[in-house]
Structure 1
Amino acid sequence: MIIINSFNEYKSLEGQVLGVSDWHRIDQNQIDRFAEATLDYQWIHVDKDKAENEGPFKSTIAHGYLTLSMIPYLWKQIADVRNVKMEINYGIENLKFGQPVPVNSDVQLKATVKSVTDLKGTVKAVVEAKLLIKDQLKPAYTGDVVFLYHFY
């Protein structure tokens, strides 16, 4: 894990791959809980029998937004940004889903710092986030996550 204490330290990381998170298995229980939380019960996510017998992936798959919602959890395994009064998830730019994440897949986040800008005291960091699927060449998604930080 990398520790970032200031704007200058963050800025010095531009263009660098910061690292990858631990592997995380997305199981059916997590998919079902996400479906319940978001009221998205599409059969391809929650109906194991139908997904196996009629679905194009022969199993249930994780919701795309479930995989996106894991960014903060996985990001915290890669970078510890310290000395901040506040951190805001500002947005995701240029997001592309590359392929679905089948149930019981192991995923990990790969993070690369694209840019760090001081906007009159608010630090805007753009981090390329790729969600990798174990034993797959193509990522589940790639997008630029935008964080805003207010350092002390």
Structure 2
Amino acid sequence: MRTIRTLDELREQIGKEVAISPWVRVDQQRIDLFAQATGDHQWIHVDQERASQESAFGTTIAHGYLTLSLLPDLMSQAVTLPPSEMSINYGLNKVRFPAPVPQGSMLRARIKLKDMRWLPAMAGQPEVRVVELIWESSIECDGMSKPACVAETISRRYDRIQ
């Protein structure tokens, strides 16, 4: 776990790999729960028998969006940022899924801070400071040469100026 104590310390990390998360397993139960939550029941994800016989992967694979959805948890296990009144996922600039995630795989994230900038005060709330962080994350699948997911994510932190 990497601990960043101040925003100034965080700013020093721009362009650098900030942290690497612990490994997490993506088992069939997790895949099935994601399919249930999203309504995406495509056989390559949920039909183990058919996937073993017909899929080029020889087994079921995780949904790409399941892999992407693990990023907030992987990041929270890898790096602690300075306290903030509120932090939100603001969006994504780019996402790719270069390699499949076979069920039972172990994943981890390599996290790099691409940019950090202060935004103008919120309309009607000049006392609120907004900091935007742009992260480059690569989710590795143990034993695979290509990453399972590469994503550029944007988060925003909101704090009252004291």
- Give the TM bin, normalised by the shorter chain: over 0.9
Deviation at 1:92, TM superposition (A): 1.6
Provide the aligned C-alpha RMSD in A: 1.1
Give the secondary structure class of the aligned counterpart of 1:84: coil
Q: Secondary structure at the match of 1:37?
A: helix
Q: Structure 1 residue aligned with 2:151, among 122, 131, 143? A: 143
Indicate if the aligned counterparts of 1:60 and 1:103 stay in contact, CA closer than 8 A: yes
Q: Which runs of 5+ in 2 are unaligned?
A: 121-128
Give the Cα–Cα distance (whole angstroms) in 2 for the partners of residues 68 and 116 of structure 1.
21
Give the share of equivalent positions with the same residue, in percent.
36
SS in 1 for 2:93: strand
The residue number in structure 2 matching 1:122 is 130
TM-score, scaled relative to structure 2: 0.90
Shift of 1:145: 1.1
> How far apart are residue 7 of structure 1 and its match?
2.6
Aligned length in residues:
152
In the other structure, the counterpart of 2:125 is: none
Between structure 1 and structure 2, the one with the greater Rg is 2
User: Which whole-Å CA distance do the structure 2 matches of 1:108 and 1:149 have between them?
Assistant: 24
Q: Given the two structures, how large is their TM-score scaled by the length of structure 1?
A: 0.95
Aligned residue type for 1:32: D
